Amino acid sequence: MQHLTEPDPFADALDAYLEKGRARLTLIRDDGYANQEDVAWYFSTYRDFWAIEKPALKFARGRVLDVGCGAGRIALYLQRKGLRVTGIDSSPRVAALASARGVRDVRVASACERLPFKRGEFETVVLFGNNLGVCGSRTGLIRMLRELRRVTNAEARILATTRAPGTVNRKHREYWHRRLARGQEFGVIRLRLEFGSSAREIEWYWIAPSALVEVAWDTGWRVAEIFGQGAADDGYAVVMVKR
């Protein structure tokens, strides 16, 4: 779990956006490939949600667990729809921000560890913002899906977004070739997040739809719906139901 003293460039960027109305978070891959993310997206309303998110959200029902809730855009939307939502985030500062913005129930917790909930508490789990890969590896994804199975009821569903590892664009394909040549896991991407003088390194996990079907099945879930083409640049949304 993250401590208050650790650098938190993501929280810094969200705070800057609230103060100034604009902020960009820099993401640098471990081969030097870099891009900037406009964090305004984390404060968006339904009209500006990703096209792949909107049809998946129609499957939300019952008590909802929003994993990696960020600034609370999904939790706030579902609250307005009358659902009871619990948001969790591993960053205390981000959790506090979501609470300040009106998310009624926010906890500091990580789905990559044992969650502070009883068996069968939730009916829907949301993992948007590519949070299906938040645990940083295939093994981490498997552990998370098993833990989410524990805290959900028999009618549960997971609504998630992720991306396939990019292999069409040459610069991305060569990145994976280099990782494989070093014996590193395919689908794991190492990133450095930077905002101002704050920086932190993380690992994220990308997975193609066909591979996710297998992982879901092995952990007690079934892929019921996929929205989007599964291309790495665009990502895709998935609805998984407990089997």
Per-residue pLDDT of 39-88, as tens digits, reads 999 999 999 999 999 999 999 999 999 999 999 999 999 999 999 999 99
CATH superfamily ID and name for 9-31+49-242: Vaccinia Virus protein VP39 (3.40.50.150)
Which tens digits make up the pLDDT trace of 183-208?
Answer: 999 999 999 999 999 999 999 999 99
Q: Is the pLDDT of residue 4 over 80?
A: no
Q: In this predicted structure, what is the pLDDT of residue 231?
A: 65
Domain residue spans of the chain: 9-31+49-242
> Rounded to whole angstroms, what are the CA distances from 44 to 41, 72, 112, 168, 230?
5, 9, 26, 30, 23
| Amino acid in the structure at residue 166 | G
**pLDDT at site 169:** 86
**Cα–Cα dist 30/190, whole Å:** 6
Q: How far apart are CA 176 and CA 201, in angstroms?
A: 18
- Residue 233 pLDDT > 70: no
Q: How confident is the model at residue 6 (pLDDT cuts 50, 70, 90)?
A: confident
Q: How far, in Å, CA of 231 to CA of 228, rounded?
A: 8
Residue 38 has pLDDT above 80, yes or no: yes
Strands (E), 183-233: 188-195, 198-205, 221-227
